[in-house]
Amino acid sequence: MDAAIASIVFSVLALGILSYTIKLANKYWFRPKQVEKRLRDIGFGGNPYRIIFGDAKDVEGMRAEVTSKPMELSDDVASRILPYHNHLVQKYARIGIMDPALVKEILSRPNDFRKPSKDQMAEVLVGGLFTSEGNVWAKHKKVLNPSFHIEKIKNMVPSIVDSCTEMMNKWNVSLDAKESVEVDMWPEVEALTFNIMCNTLVVGRSIEETQKIYKLRVKVNQQAAKLAKLMIFPGWWNLPTKELKILKEAHREIGILIKQGVTKRLEAMKNGASNPGDMLGLMLEAYQDETSGFTLEDVIEECRSFHFIGPESTARSLVWVLYVLSHYPEWQEKAREEILQVFGDQKPNVEGLSQLKIVTMIVYEVLRLYPPTSMVHRSISKDTKLGDMVLPGWVQITIPITLMNHDPDIWGEDVKQFKPERFAEGVFNSKMQSIFLAFAGGPRKCIGQSMAMVTDKFVIATILQRYILELSPSYLHAPKHSFLLIPQHGMKLVVRKRV
């Protein structure tokens, strides 16, 4: 009897192990090889499939090589920002996902071409609306959209200008004693855009609370950058590293602080306090409406998300605008002349915003050359028609925005040159509308794009009214893709008071 039971147990275990082995083999070998064959049959080139790690080691190796030293002062940055993807395009020629018509189709069909499965780092750094899908995404977007209507954004302008003035007051302390001062604009604009976000989307938070969250967010970003090399390893999130421990603890503390702020505002609203109509207030109204399905956890998650993606994406566009203004003094002077013509020495205001044509052209051209998001990913779970072809299920699609923005077949032979005049007719009144992807596109385009543009233009106007910017001799040109596009060695500029 014992032998028979042992035989049965052994058989069950053997069948279980065999079944699991078959599933693993199918997941990591047979299905990927079938997908590879089908992609080659419809004309796609590329490297042969490599199990588990794929091209991750090559990607990281090329990234490490290009970031090991700065580059010359040039706007031809695509091969540095996306070195591996640029290598593939050079090797296999343009690929389907760089075709503007196909990209437009992918981004306009979010139910067919969905965001890839969530990963832990994306959840920590962003989460919320950015990573949600389907009905959850639609519910959250419906609640958040009113926060970014143009009338709401107009009300943010005084806070934007005041935050910028506070930053410049620190520069003036140094400029009172000398003619010029070197300023690393990267940490300056990071702190600036974070303060703007806190003062406009989440009204009423104390300076102390804002600073606590900002310092923790900086800590999260620093540890995330250190962990980038580990992400090619399966299960990396559970590795017992010092960096992961620090990141998870900082993430937890941010959650506690945000929850405290949300709870405090909710109690005040229940006790009759007026709703300032900011993003937090609108979310709490939705939470109190039982038919909305918006939970308190949703409120906290979105607050956490916008503490990262809101100021981060705006800071990354703004810092490169300041770079090109310093690198191209003739365009800085054109922008300044326009700003002074519209506002004089008065604080920039909403009424003059639409008159800043040159400033708008400069911002759009910077977003083309230095897009905050270097690439967008989508995936399909079943065979899906795209254009004239049928893509096999389980394919992840990468749209390399930076490569598209530097593609002469799309933008012309002057694609590598800084030429704001290409946007003289505006981005939505020109042939570029369907290929300008600085804010992605389709239903899932960046919800805060209008706020980002307004912030960029008003900060530029406020600075150029008062100062002349120059590249510092110590500046090292090193754009780096790190979730979003950053200046690897900072953005050191020389600031002089305008006479």
The CATH number of the domain holding residue 293 is: 1.10.630.10
If you average pLDDT over each of 69-73, 315-319, 338-342, which comes out highest? 338-342
Residue 44 lies in a domain: no
Within a 13 Å sphere around the CA of 344, how many CA atoms are in the beta-carbon half? 1
Residue 332 has pLDDT above 80, yes or no: yes
Residue 15 lies in a domain: no
pLDDT of residue 444: 79
198 assigned binding-site residue: no
Q: State the virtual CA torsion across 162, 312, 315, 183 in degrees, nearest 10.
A: 90
Residue 308 lies in a domain: yes
More confident residue, 296 or 326: 326
pLDDT of residue 456: 93
pLDDT of residue 172: 92
If you average pLDDT over each of 43-47, 232-236, 481-485, which comes out highest? 481-485
Residue 150 lies in a domain: yes
Contact at 8 Å (CB) between 187 and 308? Answer: no
Task: Pinpoint the alpha helices (H) of 328-400.
Answer: 329-343, 357-369
Residue 419 has pLDDT above 90, yes or no: yes
- Please give the full DSSP string across 236-275, using - where no structure is assigned: GGGS--HHHHHHHHHHHHHHHHHHHHHHHHHHHHHTTPPP
Domain of residue 86 covers 68-497
pLDDT of residue 222: 84
pLDDT of residue 92: 56
pLDDT of residue 33: 76
pTM (predicted TM-score): 0.86
Residue 200 lies in a domain: yes
Per-residue pLDDT reduced to its tens digit, 111-153: 899 887 766 677 767 777 877 888 888 888 888 888 888 887 8
Q: What is the mean pLDDT of residues 342-353?
A: 91
pLDDT of residue 328: 98
Residue 221 lies in a domain: yes
More confident residue, 328 or 387: 328
Per-residue pLDDT reduced to its tens digit, 58-81: 777 777 788 888 988 888 888 888
Side chain identity at residue 168, one-letter code: M
pLDDT of residue 52: 64
* Total domain count, the chain: 1
Residue 37 lies in a domain: no
CA distances from 71 to 65, 67, 79, 326 (A): 12, 9, 11, 17
Q: Which of 410, 412, 310, 432 is nearest to 361 (CA)?
A: 432
Per-residue pLDDT reduced to its tens digit, 240-293: 889 889 988 998 998 898 898 889 888 988 888 887 777 888 888 888 888 888
Residue 431's pLDDT band, with cuts at 50, 70 and 90, is low
Tokens describing residue 301: 């998650």
Tokens describing residue 459: 């900060």
d(CA 472, CA 267): 50
Residue 94's pLDDT band, with cuts at 50, 70 and 90, is low
Residue 1 lies in a domain: no
pLDDT of residue 476: 96
d(CA 413, CA 460): 29
More confident residue, 375 or 456: 456
Percent of residues, the chain, with pLDDT higher than 70: 92
Radius of gyration of the chain (CA): 25
pLDDT of residue 465: 96
Q: What is the mean pLDDT of residues 396-423?
A: 91
More confident residue, 209 or 4: 209
